[in-house]
Amino acid sequence: MALSRRTFSALTGSTALGLALGGSGGPGAPSAYAARSVPTGPAPAPPSADGCRHTIGYDRYSLLVDGRRLVLWSGEMHPFRLPSPSLWRDVLQKMRAHGYNAVSIYVAWNYHSPAPGSYDFTGVRDLDLFLRTAAETGLYVVLRPGPYINAEVDGGGFPGWLSATRGTARTDDPTYLSHVDEWLTQVNRIVRRHLFTQGTGTVLLYQIENEYDAHPADATGRAYMSHLYKKVRSDGIDVPLFHNDKGRNGYWVPGSFDTGGEKGGWLYGFDGYPSPAQTPPDWGDYGPGGPKGGAGASPSTPGFVPEFGGGWFDPWGGAFFDGKGYAEARRTRDAAYERRFYLTNLANGLTLHNVYMTFGGTSWGWLPAPVVYTSYDYGAAIDEARNVTDKMAPMHHLGHLLQRVPDFAKLDRAADVHAEGLKVYHLTNPDTGAHVYVARNDGTDAVTTELPTDAGRVRITVPGKDARLLTTGLKLGRRTLKYSTAEPMLCLTAGRQDIALFSGRLGDMAELVLKCPVEPNVMRLDPEAAWVFDNDDNLHVNVPLGEGGLTRVLVEKGETETPLVLLFADDATAVRMFPYDTPSGTLLVYGPALLRHAELRGSEVHLTGDITETTTIEVWGPRGIDTLVWNGRTLPTRVTLSGSLMTTGLVPAAPEVRLPELGGWRMRRENPEAGPGFDDSDWTVADKRTTFSTTPVPEGRPVLFADDYGFHYGDVWYRGTFTGSTGLEEVSLAYSTGTQGLLMAWLDGEPLGAHRMPVPDRDTTIRKGSWADTAVFPVREQLRSPGRHVLSVLVRRMQRDQDGKGLDTHKAARGLTAAAFKGASPQVRWRIQGAIAPDPVRGPMNNGGLYGERQGWHLPGFRDHDWEPVSFPRTARYQGVTWYRTSFRLSVPADVDASIGLTLEDDPYRAYRAQIFLNGWNMGQYINNVGPQHTFVLPNGVLRTRGTNTLALAVLSEFTTLSGPGRVSLTLLGRASGGLPVTPV
Ligand code: GAL
């Protein structure tokens, strides 16, 4: 793929910029889109690996795909936070069905690279499979492989081994760049097989770096960005590139660094996580412009938010962080938040919109950055257990609207409009003449007022902290809307009729006025609707949006022979309306919880999807459809007056799913490393004198930092052997772990005590990224005898800090940093042991260096028959590590998708923590006395829903309190009839 063949065409003013390689005109033929002014027209068909070359251009309004306007309505998910590739398809299908046309993913360098030069894209790390699945699902991909990603993952995505290398990360340091190039080469080798431009996949946009504000205006930063740009291009990536600017500083706008003479291949993007308490910001056409103004910093490129908060991450619990659990994130950033903020974004002309997160998933194993716990649910529209939540309603509504109503792809700011108690945005499409009004209520009480529109004064009600979209002059197929107080969601043609769907809040009175130059025949097909034809040739339709589901009104004859079906739905009903394009025509399906796939075979409509509650299924589609096949079963149907095919009976709700009680536990104590006689001769001697860590090495003493000895993830053991300790009074152990770290020490097998990372001083310790402290243990007289002694120390690390500010904070030491003695000055010879070779299936971040992990006690095949039987709740007081194992059988019917979690509960005073292993997979860390997480999602694929599972808990107990486990049980988190076949991982 030669760079010289790439065609960029840069045109000036409001014209389109295009980017493509080769193109349909044959090799070398310029194919970049070059129209002078792009009219409003239908959006491009959903993308696939269709074998055709495509162009990706843009103007100031929107992206232009093959010359057609595309509003990008994208949701973020991270394949690395869902370690079961079959479930990627489940989440992607949910996104596509609910109105997204793109998925944005980070690719985490550390997840794929256990060591320099070693890269793994197999199994749960199969990026190629993810990109194929996204293309098969019909979603564009926004690819964000770093090298730095942040994302609340260990080291912000930097591999552990990078923390032990020379040179400053996120600069143009040659050593760092050589590692970066190695990573990008590996990623791009896969990505270039999936480029939308080439017709081999759906990768549409590609991000280099993330929130890079460390060197925005100096030579270092420019050289670094330029290097990344050129490297990605030279790897054959020919889609537009971009960066995600934190704080809308106007950093890295087009022209701010050297792109090797290429123009038009770079977009400006910025992110935003406004507090739900604040007034939604104007980061585009209504904003101040320039830096800080968001899109205004780059007037020639379309408004682009690569990340806009759709929830927020939750920190650990306890007094310092006070994490409250993700129900709180979902409550504060609820559906109304989404409408208020995202409609404001659209009003500001932000037509590339990615919601971070749309499915948060799980930071399993040692993936989480110190700031977060295992669940990365994020309060997102799709929860960690893959359930679609109430937050989907606005996403679904806006997503389908932007794809099915082209007027929204090109909006200009229009004359200011004022309405009492509301903030109003007024926009118009210069080509179609449609007007759009976003009326936002920033107060807490509902406002009812008259909105002066171009179609006259319209009385609307906007609930507190919510927003409403109102349109006038929209084309509804062959007819024209005068105005509607319900929000348009989609308009399509199915068979011989036009269908327009309007939605609103439950309890709203929808008022719709249709221009009808010739009086039509009107039939209300559901009793709720009322209509009247006035003297000014307007048809007025009024519908209360109740709980009864869909309301249908048929408009026939009049100005056109094509009937128009008007549909009205409250939010809960609207999320069960699914448009779907097939090669033989468009379908609209109403009823199921999810439509995964639709296909027409002659007169048969074959649908697959999920059912949660009892429902009918109704389908509008091409003429002549007469048979409905749902998940392989033909359902009896009738043809309705609205031209749909509808099941005559009800499709039953998902069946009950019974989960077994967990019992039959067996236990085994470990930490033989504490004993003086333990053979550590194969452990690594810790005697280095220099390090690349940012943590200073104490004068004259050895480097004890675990990363310097190749131990990058999880627990690490130290054994220090010494003589000459007569008079020893005290041992001080300095250590550095990240939040919630823990240290336990033994002298000659006798517990000295445990030390937990205390609440740090927010201003100093956190900023330095160290989370370091010193544990001081007095030494009892019996242990001061002459002769050889062994000091054993277990350090639970909580991973590396992110490097958000580009200060190499990921290089702060992890593990012991220094040992000091009072009353004696013994010479200590240290040995260190962490995780053994990375698990070839589960990856390098699955395990740390606990004895049980090194012996495979977490693995399903391990024989524990001679372990001691035990039952929960358990209470014991001791210091150290104990393992508990059991197995359980599940027999969930094959056509039921059950989402299951493991719940641990106990008296929160008890200071212990458990690492949870399901079939050998490290599903996260439970800290009983910190919280807030009690339920851990067990993803199907890792979990055998039809078969036997092995559960192992590695419990670290402090001596200060009694230790559990208390209650341990399986919890049903979601169920649906349908689902997808899941391949065991
Ligand atoms: C953004 C960052 C993301 C993630 C997010 C918070 O600023 O780009 O990677 O860290 O904040 O969840």
Could you read off the pLDDT of 350-384 as tens digits, one per residue?
999 999 999 999 999 999 999 999 999 999 999 99
Residue located nearest, by CA, to atom 11 of ligand 1: 151
Judge whether 58 and 267 are in contact, CB under 8 Å. yes
Residue 635: pLDDT above 80? yes
Q: How far is CA 540 from CA 513, 519, 523, 536, in A?
A: 5, 12, 13, 11
Q: Which atom of ligand 1 is nearest to the CA of 152?
A: 10
Q: How far is CA 796 from CA 737, 742, 815, in A?
A: 7, 5, 8
Judge whether 831 and 680 are in contact, CB under 8 Å. yes
For residue 881, the SS3 value is strand
Q: What is the DSSP letter of 615?
A: B
The pair of three-digit structure tokens given for residue 461, joined into one six-digit string: 């009600």
The pair of three-digit structure tokens given for residue 62, joined into one six-digit string: 């929107």
Residue located nearest, by CA, to atom 6 of ligand 1: 151
Mean pLDDT value of segment 970-977: 98
Q: Which atom of ligand 1 is nearest to the CA of 246?
A: 7
Residue located nearest, by CA, to atom 4 of ligand 1: 151
For residues 49 and 203, give the distance between their C-alpha atoms in angstroms, rounded to a whole number.
10
Q: Ligand 1 centre from 442 Cα, in Å?
A: 26
Q: Ligand 1 centre from 151 Cα, in Å?
A: 5
Q: Which atom of ligand 1 is nearest to the CA of 150?
A: 9
Judge whether 461 and 508 are in contact, CB under 8 Å. yes
pLDDT for the residue 781: 84
Residue located nearest, by CA, to atom 3 of ligand 1: 151
Pocket test for ligand 1, best of 211, 358, 378 (most atoms within 8 A of CB): 211
Residue 49: pLDDT above 80? yes
Q: Which atom of ligand 1 is nearest to the CA of 802?
A: 10
The pair of three-digit structure tokens given for residue 267, joined into one six-digit string: 């977009």
Q: Ligand 1 centre from 73 Cα, in Å?
A: 19
Chain position carrying tokens 């927003």? 467
In degrees rounded to 5, what are phi and psi of residue 746?
Answer: -135, 145
Pocket test for ligand 1, best of 248, 356, 357 (most atoms within 8 A of CB): 356
pLDDT for the residue 758: 67
Mean pLDDT value of segment 668-672: 97
In terms of DSSP bridges, do strands 645-647 and 509-515 run parallel, antiparallel, or are they unpaired? unpaired
Q: Ligand 1 centre from 455 Cα, in Å?
A: 42
Q: Ligand 1 centre from 162 Cα, in Å?
A: 21
Residue closest to 619 by CA, chosen among 651, 593, 596, 592 = 592
The pair of three-digit structure tokens given for residue 625, joined into one six-digit string: 């459809």
Amino acid in the structure at residue 148: Y
Q: Mean pLDDT in the chain?
A: 94
Residue 618: pLDDT above 90? yes
Q: Ligand 1 centre from 804 Cα, in Å?
A: 9
pLDDT for the residue 8: 35
For residues 160 and 671, give the distance between their C-alpha atoms in angstroms, rounded to a whole number.
25
State what percent of residues in the chain have pLDDT above 90: 91
Q: Ligand 1 centre from 306 Cα, in Å?
A: 10
Number of C-beta neighbours around residue 475 at 10 A: 17
Q: CATH 2.102.20.10 region(s) of the chain?
A: 410-647
Q: Which atom of ligand 1 is nearest to the CA of 210?
A: 8
Q: CATH 2.60.120.260 region(s) of the chain?
A: 671-833, 857-977
Chain position carrying tokens 């759906």? 202
Q: Ligand 1 centre from 243 Cα, in Å?
A: 13
* Exposure class string for 271-303: b at 16+ Cβ within 10 A, else e: bbebebeeebbbbbbbbeeebebbbbbbebbbb
Mean pLDDT value of segment 783-809: 93
Q: Quick one: which H or E segment has residue 185?
A: helix 174-191
Of the two residues 739 and 100, the one the predictor is more confident about is 100
pLDDT for the residue 24: 31
Digit-coded pLDDT (tens) for 695-709: 999 999 999 999 999
Q: Report if pTM > 0.85.
A: yes
Digit-coded pLDDT (tens) for 522-568: 999 999 999 999 999 999 999 999 998 999 999 999 999 999 999 99
For residues 679 and 523, give the distance between their C-alpha atoms in angstroms, rounded to a whole number.
87
Q: Ligand 1 centre from 247 Cα, in Å?
A: 11
Mean pLDDT value of segment 446-453: 98
Amino acid in the structure at residue 226: S
Q: Ligand 1 centre from 97 Cα, in Å?
A: 26
Residues with CB under 6 A from ligand 1: 149-152, 210-211, 244, 246, 271, 307, 313
Q: Nearest-5° angle of CA 931, CA 842, CA 711?
A: 75
For residues 516 and 479, give the distance between their C-alpha atoms in angstroms, rounded to a whole number.
8
Q: Ligand 1 centre from 147 Cα, in Å?
A: 14
Residue 767: pLDDT above 50? no
Digit-coded pLDDT (tens) for 200-248: 999 999 999 999 999 998 999 999 999 999 999 999 999 999 999 998 9
For residues 265 and 259, give the distance between their C-alpha atoms in angstroms, rounded to a whole number.
9
Residue located nearest, by CA, to atom 5 of ligand 1: 151
Pocket test for ligand 1, best of 152, 245, 304, 376 (most atoms within 8 A of CB): 152
Q: Which residues contact 275 (CB under 8 A, 6 or more apart)?
A: none
Whether omega before 147 lies within 30 degrees of 0, making that bond cis, reads yes
Q: Which atom of ligand 1 is nearest to the CA of 151?
A: 9
pLDDT for the residue 242: 98
Residue 36: pLDDT above 70? no
Judge whether 71 and 100 are in contact, CB under 8 Å. no
pLDDT for the residue 785: 83
pLDDT for the residue 770: 57
Pocket test for ligand 1, best of 150, 371, 375 (most atoms within 8 A of CB): 150
Residue 875: pLDDT above 70? yes
Environment class of 880 (CB within 10 Å of its CB; exposed 0-12, middle 13-18, buried 19+): buried
Q: Ligand 1 centre from 379 Cα, in Å?
A: 14
For residues 653 and 616, give the distance between their C-alpha atoms in angstroms, rounded to a whole number.
11
Q: Which atom of ligand 1 is nearest to the CA of 313?
A: 12
Q: Ligand 1 centre from 210 Cα, in Å?
A: 9
Q: Which atom of ligand 1 is nearest to the CA of 312?
A: 12
Range 671-833: architecture per CATH: Sandwich (2.60)
For residues 596 and 980, give the distance between their C-alpha atoms in angstroms, rounded to a whole number.
9
Q: Ligand 1 centre from 322 Cα, in Å?
A: 20
pLDDT for the residue 484: 98
pLDDT for the residue 772: 87
Q: Which atom of ligand 1 is nearest to the CA of 244?
A: 8
Q: Ligand 1 centre from 123 Cα, in Å?
A: 26
Digit-coded pLDDT (tens) for 173-199: 999 999 999 999 999 999 999 999 999
Q: Which residues contact 706 (CB under 8 A, 6 or more apart)?
A: 712, 716, 795, 797, 814, 815, 832, 834
Q: Which atom of ligand 1 is nearest to the CA of 378?
A: 12
Q: Ligand 1 centre from 150 Cα, in Å?
A: 6
Lowest average pLDDT, out of 10-19, 57-66, 311-320, 731-740, goes to 10-19
In degrees rounded to 5, what are phi and psi of residue 212?
Answer: -90, 100
For residue 639, the SS3 value is strand
The pair of three-digit structure tokens given for residue 214, joined into one six-digit string: 């460390």
Q: Which residues contact 3 (CB under 8 A, 6 or more apart)?
A: 233, 234
Residue located nearest, by CA, to atom 9 of ligand 1: 151
Q: HEC states along 240-265? A: CEEEEECCCCCCCCCCCCCCCCCCCC
Q: How far is CA 573 from CA 34, 471, 529, 576, 631, in A?
A: 42, 21, 16, 5, 21
Residue 404: pLDDT above 50? yes
The third-level CATH classification (topology) of the domain covering 857-977 is Jelly Rolls (2.60.120)
Residue 927: pLDDT above 50? yes
Q: Ligand 1 centre from 814 Cα, in Å?
A: 23
Digit-coded pLDDT (tens) for 293-302: 999 999 999 9
Residue located nearest, by CA, to atom 10 of ligand 1: 151
Chain position carrying tokens 């000055």? 825
Q: Which atom of ligand 1 is nearest to the CA of 211?
A: 8
Q: Ligand 1 centre from 801 Cα, in Å?
A: 14
Q: Which atom of ligand 1 is nearest to the CA of 106?
A: 9
Q: Which residues contact 872 (CB under 8 A, 6 or more apart)?
A: 662, 665, 964, 965, 966, 967, 968
Q: Quick one: which H or E segment has residue 852?
A: helix 851-855
Residue located nearest, by CA, to atom 7 of ligand 1: 246
pLDDT for the residue 771: 81
Judge whether 20 and 7 are in contact, CB under 8 Å. yes
Say yes or no: domain 410-647 is CATH 2.102.20.10: yes
pLDDT for the residue 626: 97
Q: Which residues contact 622 (CB under 8 A, 6 or more apart)?
A: 494, 495, 584, 585, 586, 600
Mean pLDDT value of segment 618-639: 97
Environment class of 607 (CB within 10 Å of its CB; exposed 0-12, middle 13-18, buried 19+): buried
Q: Ligand 1 centre from 244 Cα, in Å?
A: 10
pLDDT band at 759 (very low <50, low <70, confident <90, very high): low
pLDDT for the residue 840: 94
Q: Ligand 1 centre from 942 Cα, in Å?
A: 28
Q: How far is CA 262 from CA 33, 239, 580, in A?
A: 16, 12, 38
pLDDT for the residue 11: 30
Q: Which atom of ligand 1 is nearest to the CA of 271?
A: 7
Lowest average pLDDT, out of 63-77, 308-322, 802-816, goes to 308-322
Q: HEC states along 793-844? A: EEEECCCCCCCCCCCCHHHCCCEEEEEEEECCCCCCEEEEECCCCCECCCEC
Q: How many CA atoms lie within 13 A of 633 on its CB side?
A: 9
Residue 20: pLDDT above 90? no
Q: CATH 3.20.20.80 region(s) of the chain?
A: 5-388
Say yes or no: domain 5-388 is CATH 3.40.50.850: no
* Exposure class string for 720-745: b at 16+ Cβ within 10 A, else e: bbbeebeebeebebbbbbbbbbbbbb
